[in-house]
């Protein structure tokens, strides 16, 4: 038997055939009309992230084309810029809360679906014009995503990544954002 290259996964087609593809080859294969609204480099990076998720986080050697395409679609949908409703007046007394643990549960296993879902939650909350955005349940969220029972250095690293990601998303939003961000 020939060993599979370390940068490849076996993709099972609908006909039952298994074909080895790398992340770059798969993003080229899936590129089509539905992905033309995205920057090709962004699609390639997203495909690499999905590839990494299946190969290293889930430890899989074989993936169906449908599974891969569905995961890639979910990731890209999380980064899609959709026009929101007309600007609402700012609520100067508003403190809006989001439950990070709940978002982690909704996102399922792993970080792949969590971060786009978190960004969507941040955007939704910002549309309401709060003074303070509070994201609570960080510790439980991290343990949920990693499947950890006890706090570890890996948990600490992911905790920092989540806080950094929220800050970056807040500063990347168009227009002036005057809301304070609290993550606990």
> What tokens appear for 158 in the block?
């992911």
Do 49 and 112 meet the contact criterion of CB atoms below 8 Å apart?
yes
The pLDDT of 86-107, averaged and rounded, is 71
Cα–Cα separations (whole angstroms), residue 61 to 22, 26, 27, 86: 12, 15, 18, 46
Are the C-beta atoms of 9 and 20 separated by less than 8 Å? yes
Q: What is the DSSP letter of 113?
A: T
Give the number of other Cβ atoms within 10 Å of residue 20's Cβ: 14
Mean pLDDT (whole number) for 116-136: 88
Q: Which helix (H) or strand (E) holds 132?
A: strand 132-136
Number of Cα atoms under 13 Å in the Cβ half of residue 97: 7
Burial 165-179 (b: 16+ CB within 10 A, else e): bbeebbeeeeeeeeb
C-alpha to C-alpha distances, 149 to 65, 125, 144, 157, nearest whole angstrom: 34, 30, 9, 16
Greatest mean pLDDT among 7-11, 59-63, 82-86, 98-102 lies in 98-102
Q: In this structure, what is the dihedral angle of CA atoms 119, 124, 130, 131, given to the nearest 10 degrees?
A: 10
Residue-level pLDDT at 53: 81
Q: pLDDT digit string (tens) for 25-50?
A: 766 665 554 555 666 777 777 778 88
Using the predicted structure, report yes or no on whether residue 1 has a pLDDT greater than 60: no
| Residue where the block lists tokens 């690293």 | 157
Q: Is the pLDDT of residue 124 over 70?
A: yes
pLDDT at res. 65: 74
Domain boundaries, the chain: 9-79, 95-183
Question: For residue 86, what pLDDT is reported?
Answer: 37
């Amino acid at each position: 038997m020939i060993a599979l290259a370390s940068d490849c996964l076996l993709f099972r087609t609908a006909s039952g055939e298994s074909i080895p593809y790398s992340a770059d080859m798969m993003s080229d294969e899936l590129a089509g009309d539905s992905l033309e609204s995205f920057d090709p480099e962004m699609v390639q990076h997203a495909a690499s992230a999905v590839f990494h998720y299946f190969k290293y986080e889930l430890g899989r050697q074989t993936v169906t084309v449908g599974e891969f395409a569905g995961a890639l679609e979910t990731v890209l949908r999380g980064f899609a810029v959709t026009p929101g409703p007309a600007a609402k007046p700012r609520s100067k007394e508003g403190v809006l809360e989001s439950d990070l643990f709940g978002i982690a549960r909704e996102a399922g296993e792993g970080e792949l679906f969590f971060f786009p879902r978190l960004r969507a939650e941040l955007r939704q909350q910002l549309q309401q014009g709060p003074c303070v955005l509070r994201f609570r349940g960080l510790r439980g969220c991290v343990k949920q995503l990693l499947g950890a029972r006890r706090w570890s250095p890996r948990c600490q690293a992911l905790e920092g990544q989540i806080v950094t990601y929220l800050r970056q998303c807040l500063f990347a939003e168009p227009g002036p954002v005057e809301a304070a961000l609290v993550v606990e």
